[in-house]
Amino acid sequence: MPLTPETLTRHELIGVPIRVADAPNPDLVGLSGRVVSETMQTFVVATDSGEKRVPKAGTTFEMALDVSTADQTAGDTDEAAAAGVADATAGSQAPRAAGSPFELGEDTAGVRPRQSWPSGCSANPFAGGCEGGVYVTVDGHTLCARPAARTERTGDSKWR
């Protein structure tokens, strides 16, 4: 189960490039960087101006999956569609997340005009590799769990 938009909320988020799209605290909006640590209620994000602790609850995050992962995503979409887990999507389109996360980005046509990721934050560590990446927008409430337990909330096993 590689890191795809479907599995993102159950997968390891440490090391993932992240951006705060919306937050109750206006100072946090637009913050971007890599996740370096996670607790039940917060992320620690390494930005250019130091490490910032961001609460998960009430915050909307944009996460970037890199190109190699995006390639795997296409393959996995087919598998998932065959298994009846996710909606069948066209090969060029990024899959729709099965759970609560939804996404804005597409993986083929580059960055959408209404997404201001590369221009909005020069601090983005993946500014060069943005094109071809997949962006996933996640509601922070779905991530509120102990880091070690977040994987288990919905299992991979089908027989149950």
Q: How far apart are CA 73 and CA 61, in angstroms?
A: 20
Closer residue to other proteins (CB): 39 or 92? 39
Write down the least CB distance from residue 92 to other proteins, Å.
26
Determine if 85 is a binding residue for other proteins (CB under 8 A).
no
Determine if 148 is a binding residue for other proteins (CB under 8 A).
yes
Determine if 83 is a binding residue for other proteins (CB under 8 A).
no
100 to 129, contacts with other proteins by CB under 8 A?
none
Determine if 3 is a binding residue for other proteins (CB under 8 A).
yes
**The one among 83, 90, 128, 149 contacting other proteins by CB under 8 A:** 149
Contact 43, 53 (CB under 8 A): yes
Q: How far apart are CA 151 and CA 36, in angstroms?
A: 18
Q: How far apart are CA 102 and CA 61, in angstroms?
A: 11
Determine if 147 is a binding residue for other proteins (CB under 8 A).
yes
* Stretch near other proteins under the rule CB under 8 A, chosen from 94-102, 127-135, 136-144, 149-157: 149-157
Sheet holding 60-65, edge to edge: 50-55, 42-47, 32-38, 17-22, 60-65, 134-139
Is the dihedral angle over the CA atoms 67, 18, 15, 1 positive or is it negative?
negative
Determine if 15 is a binding residue for other proteins (CB under 8 A).
yes
Q: Return the ∠ at Cα 129 (arms to 116 and 34), rounded to 5°.
A: 75
**The one among 29, 37, 99, 118 contacting other proteins by CB under 8 A:** 37
Residues that bind other proteins (CB under 8 A): 1-3, 7, 10-12, 14-15, 36-37, 147-149, 151-152, 156
